[in-house]
Structure 1
């Protein structure tokens, strides 16, 4: 069975980090090895939480024990998200080196979690620079939001052309696929949510109807990155494989958002919507999802 190693945060209640990534990947048939960088009672969006951040030494020790037991030969991909500090990042890159030594073709999917529009940066000082200089260049797939892509590429993004140029700049650092998980530019319809995927073979924008919440749920980016990685593993990184992966990802996100809104909760409704999500990720793209080739 194909294995994905996911190094991310963990919460006892709710769905962010590994809690948002592992379950949908398992439903798609992947054996996921989850290594947790923190264990909190709930995500920090509630304002109050308990738990602790694990030391880089703890994370490295857990990975080393798992690697010694399994040999890592079955690992098809490494998935990483929020990084507490640079030492944690070094542990992730060491894990990547060991995975690729055991299986040279293994992919690295990096979600460069750093900040967001309206909030600015919410990570420790030095993390953004470390991401740009070391983590992003090592990755095959990167999944920044618009704020993160703008900073990583060093250019403002207000137009479609800006977004394409920024994605190309990021690919020039090393990644083969750039997924921009939020795209709000001059020609983005107000009633749509758009994402962009950019590769050497082309660029595609996918949009779905906007779903409004009383309180927006956390963890959507973690879910999006995980299922997009699964799509890339299934369809490959060449030709229009990433475009197909993004279209199905968008369909799954729409289903998840609708279920979350209908449940009236600020936690992603992963469990109630699991069957519909899995069907969307395995089936044809719904006709109402707009796929536009930009180049």
Structure 2
């Protein structure tokens, strides 16, 4: 049975961060076992107001990872998924854990969702946390999944046309799934791998619930572990996200209705891929 280590936020009342990653991967038909080490313990997404709870102390975060390692699980990890970090210290600890996992299993996929900010609010982590993530985790990533604002922040390039976005993504030097890419035909993701790029789009939903990027990264990693190529994994993952968003709109759900729609979301046909480069 495959194993994925999730390093990210636990948000009890919202379907975001490590919480939705844990649920999505655990509900997948690939029989992947998720192990979630939280970086925060929140009651709800901060977008709803004061979230309650707070960040996990770095010593506690590191202690949990040491316990997992001591139980021999690092050598069984097939994928690491990171999302929100509350401090630079947490990022440093995560980097050391990734190195230990890669040493135990060089084939483990390191998927870094570089949670830094979004439009229009901009950067919503501390500058030292952003700097640590850029310096420590991005170089260790096999696959990145920035949103369009994060790609601009990381590359210092303002790109809106899909070809321009693809070229900016190539500057990251590793496979990159860029979310929040919009065209007149819809919204979706753009995957850069080497000197090639693919686009997959679905219909746009006004005011979608939070957590779509977290869900996309989770489903993408699961499909990659299942043996699909990166373009195939993006097409399947985006189709699943679009399905969940459709149910959210239909049911007027304030949070992503993942549990109610997961069975179908994992089994919908993939979106069409357009090769850009």
User: Which TM class, normalised by the smaller chain length?
Assistant: over 0.9
The C-alpha deviation readout for 1:44-69, integer Å capped at 9, x for no partner, is 11112221211111110001011101
Q: Distance in 2 between matches of 1:11 and 1:134?
A: 25
8 Å contact from structure 1 (residues 192, 210) kept in 2: yes
| Structure 1 unaligned regions, length at least 5 | none
CA contact (8 A) 1:178 1:197 kept: yes
Residue 202 of structure 2 is aligned to residue 204 of structure 1 = no
Whether 1:291 and 2:277 are equivalent positions in the alignment is: no
Normalised TM-score (structure 2) = 0.95
CA RMSD of aligned residues (A): 1.4
- The structural deviation recorded for 1:226 is 0.7
Distance of 1:117 and 1:12 partners within structure 2? 25
SS at match of 1:223: helix
Residue 70 of structure 1, CA deviation = 2.7
CA distance 1:202–1:70, change in 2 (3 Å): same
* Worse-matched range after superposition: 153-162 or 96-105: 153-162
Q: What is the Cα deviation at residue 153 of structure 1?
A: 1.3
Instruction: Return the offset for 1:201.
Output: 5.7
Mark the runs of 5 or more structure 2 residues left unpaired by the alignment. Answer: none
**Is the counterpart of residue 193 in structure 1 residue 187 in structure 2?**
yes
Alignment of 1:1-295 (within 5 A): 1-28=1-28, 29-171=31-173, 175=174, 177-184=175-182, 188-189=183-184, 192-200=186-194, 202-213=196-207, 216-235=208-227, 241-280=229-268, 284-285=269-270, 289-295=271-277
Measure, in 1, the Cα distance between the counterparts of 2:7 and 2:264.
26
Q: Is the 8 A contact 2:114 2:145 kept in 1?
A: yes
Q: So what's the TM-score if we normalise by structure 1?
A: 0.89
Whether the 8 Å CA contact 2:166–2:191 is kept in 1: the answer is no
